Structure 1
Amino acid sequence: MAAAATCIAVVAVAMAVLAPGARGLDRRADFPPGFLFGAATSSYQVEGAYLDDNKSLSNWDVYTHTHPGKIKDGRNADVADDHYHRYMDDVELVRDLGVNSYRFSISWARIVPRGRLGEVNSAGIAFYSRLIDALLQKDIQPFVTLNHFDMPHELETRYGGWLGAGIREEFEYYTDVCFKAFGDRVRFWTTFNEPNLLVKFQFMLGKHPPNRCSPPFGHCNRGDSRREPYVAAHNVLLSHAAAVRNYRTNYQVTRDG
């Protein structure tokens, strides 16, 4: 999960809608009514600012610093594309692609740095609010992914990541904070990015934090590749269900999401 070369590198396919030399032309009038064509990023890969404004260390922040051999060229995303400070420029780049939607993930560690035991980070809320407002001002529909493989490192330590049942309440709390803060402007939500790969790489192959696996799938210092992926998947599914139930019960009708 090394940092992307640029904020829009992961969505270069979107350039297919533009003719050569057409940078900055608005092609969205050519879309059928209701058609959304977009770009996507993940918070860890683009934001940088890994300790700015009261954000806590995420599992990936710690992993890339303590397991350099697991990451190509020993890189980390402490700075990445510096999207946290350059988001307005990045919104302009997305606008120049001619797309009308943008999916980004929220850093759990930036919103509730210590989970339910700590406070909501107002600076993190303010950053994503500015980003959402900037997108809407450009007529770009924001799509929010609530978890893209990352969580506060403290929660990974406290619960063993997705292995501990307590992580379900943590995820429900975190997602509720997001629904309250951004739901007046965000209609489209994704709970987990590729949960099948999350479980596979974290608890079967051990290639992502918390780096748990066992032979013949991998050679980690700890883990059980035959059992733990199912435990983690169970908790991910129940966390998803809790977030969806909360949204449908308390937010969907009033916020048309």
Structure 2
Amino acid sequence: MSSKDLKMFRVIVLLSFLVIRASSLNNHSFPNNFMFGVATASYQIEGGWDADGKGENMWDWWTHTFPEKISNRYSGDVTCDSYHLWRDDVEMLKHLGVNHYRLSISWSRVLPEGTTNYVNQKGVEYYRNLFQALLDNGITPLVTIYHWDLPQPFNELGGWMNPLIVDYLGDYARVCFQLFGDLVKNWITINEPQTTCLQGYTQGYKAPGYANEGEGIYLCAYTHVLAHARAYHIYDEEFRALQNGTISIVLDSSWSEPASDSDKDLEAAETQMEFILGLYANPIYNGNWPRVVIDRVGTRSLLEGYSKSRLPEFTQEQIDYVKGTYDFFALNTYATNLIYHQIDVNQSIGKASYFLDSGTGSKTDPSWKTVVGWVNDVPWGFRKLLNWVSEHYKRPDIFITENGWSDYTGELNDQDRIEYIGNYLSAILDAIYEDGINILGYTVWTLMDNFEWQVGYSQKMGLYYVDFDSPNRTRTPKASAEWFAGVIRGRCLLDQCEN
């Protein structure tokens, strides 16, 4: 960066701090052991989609077969080219001063056929070099085993609606522990099954594009929960004693705020939380599906003429196998929604639908700040979500593994992003100091602008701007990068903080 550019950024950063000072933020320092980081995912940044023996994955197939499904017909074939430019990524992380970097392993880069019969050494070398470079620079790798890029051979078997994936995921996880466990001590089994199951197997917005409203989400959730438990037990029983690491699953949820103080809307908001978050969290943290999900899906299924519930039933052995498979609660969140009662359990019978099963409707307050509809700046909703998780799941340690702001411009002077992250970090401090919740760390999505799934490169979420028209995929820090680096250095959102 030129001296002129550096001077410009100093001015931008100063303005950023003035914006933050003018707002009402918590003035406590972050605890000494609180971790700051950023996150990415393999398909979204790596590129090199067929480089050095990598196999085809579900998103390779989806973007190549149905390019019209992606904004501007983009793909992740090259994206940020981090497969070749990973050293640049490490330099960016060093500049930010992060404590951890959440990233994922591409299943098909390590196991090109998905199965363990062939291990791609070039892929192994790529990840080992990256993990070692992170450690050499004092950055802890927080590694996701599976972040949506299912090997295409398994997609052709029905993907996450096929319980055989439980065994395949377990085999793959074991390979990861064997190959990388000496370098990686913090593992995530699976990223955001809620979004995968809702948008990939129920609505069809994301790969693999199945629109099965009646059963898709439940079959998908069932397989994900069991697959997570399989990977957890493999680590716990075969590797933990030697490698001494931690492992959990990343779950995603918005906060469901009652649209009114009526009893029906209060009940609807609680039901919505169970259908969105509880469907995946309850089996792991409490055992079995949430009772309201069991009851509502079961009742509606019978009224619709099914011989049994569309929600797969766990055996007692499976309930016991899944329960307790966590070391902490990893949470991704971006927004708050207003939830209202829409239909009773026995209304509108005739169409099997996850959306009718919950009986709820959703909207947002037009006064809430937003640019992209699925992200809004409602920090009080975030704090309520943290309290709900703590109260419902036995007060686990909570790690925020994704949170960030989205816009369409990628502008360098990204004041909205600074304000959003500052507000959500302030809510974390409120939760720690006023609510007594143990929050381990916070992770910004994302390090740099990247391939954002079905919207391609139209939405920008990075602390760094990426020039996707440049063969070098030039990265430029935004004002938010400089601001976040300052927060990490000072462990404080203001000029001076209380301990």
After TM superposition, is the score higher than 0.5? yes
Residue 91 of structure 1 and its aligned partner are, at CA, apart by: 0.5
| Aligned position for 1:202 | 200
Give the % identical residues. 39
Letter in 2 for 1:100: N
| Aligned position for 1:160 | 158
| Aligned position for 1:59 | 58
CA–CA separation in structure 1 for the residues paired with 2:123 and 2:100: 22
Letter in 2 for 1:55: K
Structure 1 length normalisation: TM-score? 0.82
Residue 117 of structure 1 and its aligned partner are, at CA, apart by: 6.2
Taking the TM superposition and a 5 Å limit, the aligned residue runs for 1:44-193 are: 44-116=43-115, 118-157=117-156, 159-193=157-191
| Aligned position for 2:219 | 231
Conserved 8 A contact 1:114-1:155: no
CA–CA separation in structure 2 for the residues paired with 1:252 and 1:195: 24
CA–CA separation in structure 2 for the residues paired with 1:32 and 1:202: 38
Conserved 8 A contact 2:116-2:172: no
Secondary structure of the structure 1 residue equivalent to 2:142: strand
CA–CA separation in structure 2 for the residues paired with 1:207 and 1:115: 24
Residue 32 of structure 1 and its aligned partner are, at CA, apart by: 4.5
Secondary structure of the structure 2 residue equivalent to 1:116: coil
Normalized per residue, the structure richer in helix is 1
Residue 19 of structure 1 and its aligned partner are, at CA, apart by: 5.5
CA–CA separation in structure 2 for the residues paired with 1:115 and 1:42: 18
Q: Which runs of 4+ in 1 moved over 3 A?
A: 18-21, 30-33
Residue 116 of structure 1 and its aligned partner are, at CA, apart by: 2.2
CA–CA separation in structure 2 for the residues paired with 1:121 and 1:238: 27
The RMSD of aligned alpha carbons is 1.7
Aligned pair 1:248/2:240, yes or no?
no
The structure-2 alpha-carbon separation of the partners of 1:61 and 1:182, relative to structure 1 and needing over 3 Å to count, comes to: same
Pairs aligned (count): 221
Unaligned runs of 5+ in 2: 1-11, 16-28, 246-499
CA–CA separation in structure 1 for the residues paired with 2:116 and 2:179: 19
Secondary structure of the structure 1 residue equivalent to 2:184: coil
CA–CA separation in structure 2 for the residues paired with 1:33 and 1:121: 40
CA–CA separation in structure 2 for the residues paired with 1:228 and 1:187: 34
Letter in 1 for 2:141: P
Residue 98 of structure 1 and its aligned partner are, at CA, apart by: 1.6
Letter in 2 for 1:177: V
- 1:28-55 Cα offsets, whole Å, 9 max, x none, are xx97533211010000010000001110
Secondary structure of the structure 2 residue equivalent to 1:144: strand
Structure 2 length normalisation: TM-score? 0.43
- 1:75-94 Cα offsets, whole Å, 9 max, x none, are 00111000000001111001
The structure-2 alpha-carbon separation of the partners of 1:244 and 1:117, relative to structure 1 and needing over 3 Å to count, comes to: closer
